Structure 1
Amino acid sequence: MNIASSTGLRSLESIINHAGGPVKLLRGSNIGPYTFPVIPAEFTNWRDEVRSWKDSVALLELSYHMTELHLRGPDTVKFLSTLATNKFDPYPVLRGKQLVLVGHDGYMIGDAIVFREEEEFLRIVGAPFASDWIQYNAEITDMNVTAVRDDNFSVRSGTRDVFRLQIQGPNALALVREVSKGTLPHINFFNIGEFDIAGHTVRALRHGMAGEPGFEIYGPWDIQQEVRAALDEVGQKYGMRKIGAMAYSTTAQESGWMPMPLPAIYHSPEMKPYREWLNQYFLESVGSLGGSFLSDNIEDYYVDPVEVGYRSLIDFDHDFIGKEALRARLAHPKRTKVTLEWNNDDVMACMNSSLTDPNNGGMFMKMPNPMYATFQSDAVMKGGKHAGISQWLAFSANADRIISLALVELEHAEPGTELTVLWGEPNSRRLPVGKNQLREIRATVAPAPYFDKVIKTRNQ
């Protein structure tokens, strides 16, 4: 079903025009940050849950919040290669890829993980922006490919095709070896292998989030409780913690993955047909833009794959949308991704002022994820001049401070560089944001990913 073409639904294009432009639309949305559905905020306490993927082993729940799009047909890989920056020749069965998608001008639309399950079956998993763009193009292509949507539990309930769990941390390999009772094969990085848990065959994508082997385990929806029970029982031996929604919201900051940048779909004539296909039920139409960085130009909020660290995922030996624009961006990079360590004294002073001086205090920093919008964009300054944008922040119980992923100008990207983040959203039109005054938070540049290069080193 093409949910965007149903009678009576308003298109994103008409919503933008009614709002007076994309910035006004997104800055006026009262949607807060993404809330992970179904799982509780905490299973134990979010601090120890966060520490488990560094110190022992964590079970992260992926079954409910990931959007899936299933591509089938003899032209699936050929079709996908026309959209993605990635290399697809060769692309064998039982292999994963981090898929990167850009628009006609080289700005990023989104990323996702693609699983090649069979010769003619690809599974796209991640935030909805990549799946939405791929689904739209599948509906208008002449190639032999079909797209079937398996939405997440933010917009539906019931059952899904597969359950999905992530086992991560220094004890992950030992745990999975034991719970699989010797059936775990050697699986190379970003390959997919099959083995047994609780008498059932499951598959797992081999990856790593914190410098240790990790497994994204998935299988038929109706076997998940037996698989979970087996993991719970064996996991006690290895100090396994289940990760609740609060702790889960801090995973990206340590790993260096910048989730959900603003998709670059709101401005160009080439994207108008897509905006007319999207309707008011898509996150692109209802999402919010927040933070201290202010511009009337929506393009100032976009990112490109080069600056977020995806250079190795760009293959210029095949044709894809945005190829030449991206080639030009690669030749003239302006920003790069870093981690920012926020100064603890400044953070605590801001929090204190928000509680004790509500009329003149800074914006409250809720823990562990002090975000108030779908898309965060805070101004980063150096000597009173603009130096970049901070986009995804959280308090890391492994770093004992707030850290954020930021894009900063190349001249300010050296680790140890002192910068300033402007924190707050004065005169906001969005209801989730209370009255606040802009505050300066000192921040120090650190590498991204932060976990491997800073936290792990400090604890050796």
Structure 2
Amino acid sequence: MNAPATSAARPVPVPQVLSGLEPGPFHDRLAALNHQQAWMNWMGYASPSVLDTVEFEYFAIRNQSTLFDISPMCKYAIAGPDAEAVVNRLVTRDIRKLKPGRVAYCIWCDEDGQVVDDGTVFRYGPNEFRLCCQEPQLSWLEDIAWGYEVTIRDVSREIAGLALQGPTSCALLRDLGLDGIESLKPFGIGSFDIAGVALSVSRTGFTGDLGYELWMAPEGALAVWDALMAAGRLRGLRVIGYEALDMARIEAGFLLPKIDFLSAQTVLRADRAVTPYELGLDWLVALDKPHFNGRRALLELSRKPPRRKLVAIEIERDKPAHNALVYHRKSREVGMVTSALWSPTCKRNIAYAWLDAPYGQTANDHLWVEIYLQKEIRWQRRMARCHPVEKPFFTHPRRTATPPAEY
């Protein structure tokens, strides 16, 4: 089990390969534990992709508890008398139904009904919101808010964040004295304190498991980290990188921008943008609410089947279908795989794939993926049968149990 670095530890610089990137609020602790020295660029921060081994980190998510630095996420504070109206105009869900102290997963679209991004909306009060997302959205938000009495601020560097995920995460927080944390419902927000540092804690995450996200001022970040690591010795706490998290999010049915779909703001080819209906996110579109961006186009699109669809598929045998093409009757190309994984927990070969209509909608038979395997520097081609399935692949009662069981 990883021991916490002390507050007196010598600062560890960002490796030369990532020169120009900003060390995040937890960088000194992460660098001391990053035995692989495997880093990636996440919104200008040096973020670990793997610290020890992907296998250890993945199984810690499903059997213990894990820490992942989510400080690089884009975060925007939206406040003022018209804050609700602005957020409701931005996203496709009806934000009027979101009560203070709650979080909602949302998407937002351009005027053609094409998805710009997805993220989470935190409602802290009647006129106070925070939007968390993967891509920069400040200019888009300012356009949406034109003419409204509202203030929008980019607070990405003002808030440090940690994702604490796994079966023992609630017990660990109780060990730290967070009284009442066991009563926090999924997508709820609570105010707590760790090591004298004020926290906003949400029961949210990207793993599909029991878990929480902890938000704090950067100046208190290391004190919170050290307290978590000390308490986590008895709860199997392990620090993880992006690669293990990516495995868990595929199992949990979460989509990732730039991997499973592209933002309508960044595509170079018009046909690469996608709609909520193509992503299978119809349930996030409230056409009966007042006007929002893209509503007219989405209303028209809702009247006809999507031209293509991102679907969950299960594949025969055990070789992941990374970047594979999908064929009908082994001859006609009808789609492509975006994310793929042999799931260690589900013991299934799973993936997400874009399929042209009618495949994946009304025609689901005789679908095959073309997998290439490298064995001792020689490539082998394998055709494996697949079929669409319901997502998520991984579900467990502990994700929503309130209070969570003792682990």
TM over 0.5: yes
> Aligned partners of 1:415, 1:447: CA distance in 2, in Å?
15
> Aligned partners of 1:240, 1:163: CA distance in 2, in Å?
19
Distance apart, 1:231 and its partner CA: 1.2
> Aligned partners of 1:99, 1:310: CA distance in 2, in Å?
10
For each residue in 1:173-203, what CA deviation from the matched residue of structure 2 results, as whole angstroms up to 9, or x when unmatched?
A: 2222222342526222212111222233211
Distance apart, 1:90 and its partner CA: 3.4
Aligned residue among 335, 338, 353 for 1:406: 353
The residue type paired with residue 385 of structure 1 is R
1:82–1:319 contact (8 Å) kept in structure 2: yes
Correspondence 1:14-413 to 2 at 5 A: 35-36=41-42, 37-64=45-72, 66-128=73-135, 130-138=137-145, 141-151=146-156, 160-184=157-181, 186-207=183-204, 209-260=206-257, 261-265=261-265, 284=266, 298-316=269-287, 317-334=289-306, 335-341=308-314, 379-383=325-329, 384-394=331-341, 396-398=343-345, 403-408=350-355, 409=357, 411-412=359-360
For each residue in 1:152-184, what CA deviation from the matched residue of structure 2 results, as whole angstroms up to 9, or x when unmatched?
A: xxxxxxxx2111111222222222222234252
For each residue in 1:225-284, what CA deviation from the matched residue of structure 2 results, as whole angstroms up to 9, or x when unmatched?
A: 11111211222212122111332333331121111121124xxxxxxxxxxxxxxxxxx3
Pair 199,346 (structure 1): closer, same or farther in 2 beyond 3 Å: closer
Pair 181,215 (structure 1): closer, same or farther in 2 beyond 3 Å: closer
For each residue in 1:417-446, what CA deviation from the matched residue of structure 2 results, as whole angstroms up to 9, or x when unmatched?
A: 66334569xxxxxxxxxxx99966535234
1:102–1:110 contact (8 Å) kept in structure 2: yes
For each residue in 1:11-52, what CA deviation from the matched residue of structure 2 results, as whole angstroms up to 9, or x when unmatched?
A: xxxxxxxxxxxxxxxxxxxxxx97444233323211111122
The residue type paired with residue 195 of structure 2 is A
| Secondary structure of residue in 1 paired with 2:49 | coil
> Aligned partners of 1:116, 1:217: CA distance in 2, in Å?
15
The residue type paired with residue 43 of structure 1 is L
Query: Which residue of structure 1 aligns with residue 367 of structure 2?
Result: 419
1:205–1:215 contact (8 Å) kept in structure 2: yes
In the superposition, the TM-score normalised over structure 2's length comes to 0.73
**Higher-helix-fraction structure:** 1
In the superposition, the TM-score normalised over structure 1's length comes to 0.65
The residue type paired with residue 388 of structure 1 is G
Aligned residue among 374, 384, 390 for 1:442: 384
> Aligned partners of 1:216, 1:443: CA distance in 2, in Å?
39
Pair 398,223 (structure 1): closer, same or farther in 2 beyond 3 Å: same
Count of residue correspondences: 344
| Secondary structure of residue in 2 paired with 1:128 | coil
| Secondary structure of residue in 2 paired with 1:82 | helix
Pair 304,131 (structure 1): closer, same or farther in 2 beyond 3 Å: farther
> Aligned partners of 1:103, 1:315: CA distance in 2, in Å?
15
> Aligned partners of 1:135, 1:392: CA distance in 2, in Å?
33
* Structure 1: 5+ residue stretches without partners: 1-32, 152-159, 266-283, 290-297, 348-364, 372-377, 425-435
The residue type paired with residue 123 of structure 2 is R
1:50–1:396 contact (8 Å) kept in structure 2: no
| Secondary structure of residue in 1 paired with 2:97 | coil
Pair 346,51 (structure 1): closer, same or farther in 2 beyond 3 Å: closer
For each residue in 1:103-152, what CA deviation from the matched residue of structure 2 results, as whole angstroms up to 9, or x when unmatched?
A: 222221111111123443322111115555224433xx11122322245x
Larger RCO, structure (CA 8 Å, separation 6 or more): 1
> Aligned partners of 1:163, 1:441: CA distance in 2, in Å?
46
**Higher-strand-fraction structure:** 2
Identity value in percent: 24
RMSD: 3.4
